Structure 1
Amino acid sequence: MPGGSGRGPGRSCRLSNGRCGPLSLMITAGRRADCTQFQAVLDKIRVPRPVGWSRIKPVSIAADKAYSNGQIRRYLRRRGIRHTISEKTDSRVARLRKRSRGGRPPGFDPQRYAKRNTIEQMINKLKQLRAAATRYDKHGYVFLGAVTFVSLVIWLRT
């Protein structure tokens, strides 16, 4: 999930599938951390199926160290979503300092973590449209419309 400039309509939190297609978009304030909107972005997922209800829960998630906090890990565990999130260095040091009270290290699968580059590829595809890359729009809904349009183009091309 990308960063953004501190001005204009703000950042956009994104979630993508394994083929670099956007699944969920959300516009936030300019200087707000993306990890605070993790649950809201994940709750907006709706993947239609040929038969039956839409799927609202991903099978697994791979994220970077910015999403390595207890609140996100508890949320994913509660929903039964497998996750691969690398542990922050300061969290590891604090856990080791507590010894047995620090608990076990979180599970980590390096092969699944290597596939997390799909979000970066999706961001690069979105930034091919100048309006989505520069964020010069005055209003957030205009920026969201531009990013949604580019997302539709990406889905139609795949």
Structure 2
Amino acid sequence: MPAKILFLLFALTLSGCASLPPSSSSNATASAAARGTALANRNSETAQQRLAAVAAQRAEAAQQFCPNWQQALDHARSNATGCAQMPTNEQATCWQAVSQWAQEESRYFHALAPLLQSGAYAFPAAQAAHFFDLTQGWAITCQNGQRACAAASGHQQMDNSKSAINQFCRR
């Protein structure tokens, strides 16, 4: 009989353990887990918003690439013609300005290249940046006079880049 009493007391003790309220450490753990989940959800939402913004920027850049290229190319032609028609003593200053302008255009197209890196515009954007890098170098050479300008290297590379971009933009 004493074994039965001992067993009964043991059983009552175990059932009492099961009905104890949760400890404060398990409440803290649950609270920390809830905060972690909320933070993860906010981070995920922020990441999705950023991806959507980049996708919108990419679409806008792709849509504007060919018009911006054509405008820059027209401006480059106009600049070159204008400098060539200036009096000889003013040409160096003109070509210096063209070189600075070409550098700005190069920066613009270099900045587009990573944005457009995964699409059809990746190659044309890189070619446009290369074209304006070459244009800048050519304009620097032209500061030394018309002979230096005519003898400057890079014309073929500039023409190749320009043709590739124009062909892309015509399709």
- State the TM bucket, normalised to the shorter chain: under 0.3
Identify, as 1 or 2, the structure richer in helix. Answer: 2
TM-score, scaled relative to structure 1? 0.25
Q: Which has the higher strand share?
A: 1
TM-score, normalised to structure 2, is 0.23
Q: Point out the structure with max Rg over C-alpha.
A: 2
